[in-house]
Structure 1
Amino acid sequence: MAIDQQMLVRTLVKQQTPLLAYIVSIVREYNLAEDVYQEVATDAVAHIHQINDEQHLVRWLRQACRFRAIDELRRRGSHMVFDSAVLDQLETDWDHRHDDQARHMRQALRRCIEQLAPNARRVIHLRYRDNLTGQRLAEASGRSMNTIYTALSRAHRALAECMNRAQVQEDGLD
Structure 2
Amino acid sequence: MGRNIEYNLQESNPSAIYFTIIIILLVLLSFFSLFTCLGCCGTACKSSCMIGSFIVIEFVLFGGSVGGLVFLHYKYGLDAVQEILDQELSRSVSSYSQDSVLIKGAWDWFLVTAQCCGVGVEGIKVWSRADLKPNYRVPQACCKPNYDECMYEPGFETTNLSDCIPILLPFSQALIYGLPVLMLIS
TM-score for the superposition, normalised by structure 1: 0.30
Larger RCO, structures 1/2 (Cα 8 Å, 6+ apart) = 1
